[in-house]
Amino acid sequence: MDEYKHTILCVDDNENILHSLKRLLRKEDYRFLTATSGAEGLKILKENNVHLLISDYRMPGMSGTEFLGKVKEEYPDVLRVILTGYTEVDSITDAINEGHIYKFFLKPWKDENLKLEIKKALEQHDLIQANRKLHEKVLEKNKELTRINANLESLVQERTKDLEIQNQALELSHAILEDLPLPTIGVSAEQMIVLINREVQSLFNGGEGIKLGNKLSEYFSSDMEKMMSNVLASNSSQVLKGYRFSERTYDIDLIPLSGRFRGKGVIMVLRPLVSG
């Protein structure tokens, strides 16, 4: 297993340069590889995870800029540096402008300055890779958020459709209630009137009828209240026969609510007696 955090490859046809760099960096925590030609450098890059590449500018067979151009294309994550003399600085400007190299190191060099430059270059490599990984994570999170939003939108559409169906069912229920041919009254467990249909209001011939929110006792006798309490307690329907209400006589069906509304209310259906 590689124990070094960073690997440096130096490519130069002058072996003295390679030896000098190796001596310079022998105490540093780097894995140091060397090659004497661009072709050999490409082979090493293929077989090793290189972080920083330092290449001579003038090499036989393949120039430094040509070599680094190939490296940029095949190994874009490798930070590329040219090692050059003062007289060649102007001629490598194109390589810098085209992005083939990160920067150049001058030779002859001062040991401490070169070590510092190498350290900075590796820090730059790590920063670039960290930013790339962060960018990839952001992209992945964005994709995840897109998926979540798509699922949420689908869920909202389903819920909206459900609500539309429920609203339609509620409207239909109200319409059915209104059109029932018998007076129907809904009473809560607290004996408050919470529902009436138009047949209830027609019992009063245009006078002041039953109002929602009023107590049952405002319109019916105490017998009705007691019977309502019994229906809620027993959860079973009962019939109050021959009840006089609004100048007519009725048999009144008292039907407790069921399901999740069990114990929470009663439906009163008034059936007028023919002889009433």
Tell me: the pLDDT tens digits for 18-29?
Answer: 999 999 998 888
Residue 2 clears pLDDT 60, i.e. is over it: no
- Regarding pTM above 0.85, the answer is no
- pLDDT-based confidence at 50, cuts 50/70/90? very high
What tokens does 109 get? 């060099």
* pLDDT (tens digit per residue) in 31-40: 999 999 999 9
Ranges of H-type helices in 51-99: 64-74, 93-97
Residues of the chain with CATH 3.40.50.2300: 6-134
Q: Could you tell me which residue, 155 or 78, shows the higher pLDDT?
A: 78
* Averaged pLDDT, 251-259: 90
In this predicted structure, which of 111-115, 153-157, 184-188, 231-235 has the lowest mean pLDDT?
Answer: 153-157
Residue 141 clears pLDDT 80, i.e. is over it: yes
What pLDDT does 1 receive?
A: 42
What pLDDT does 11 receive?
A: 92
Domain 6-134 falls in which CATH fold?
Answer: Rossmann fold (3.40.50)
Residue 80, phi-psi category: left (phi > 0), alpha (psi -120 to 50), beta (remainder): beta
Residue 108 clears pLDDT 80, i.e. is over it: yes
In this predicted structure, which of 15-29, 47-61, 76-90, 125-139 has the lowest mean pLDDT?
Answer: 76-90
What tokens does 77 get? 């994550």
What pLDDT does 171 receive?
A: 74
Residues of the chain with CATH 3.30.450.20: 180-272
Instruction: Find out if CATH 3.30.450.20 is the number for domain 180-272.
Output: yes
- Using a 10 angstrom Cβ sphere, with 0-12 exposed, 13-18 middle and 19 or more buried, the burial of residue 142 is exposed
Residue 14 clears pLDDT 50, i.e. is over it: yes
Going by C-alpha positions, the residue among 74, 53, 75, 73 that lies closest to residue 64 is 53
Find the radius of gyration of the CA atoms of the chain.
45
**Residues 13, 37 contacting (CB under 8 angstroms):** yes
Cis peptide before 60 (omega within 30 of 0): no
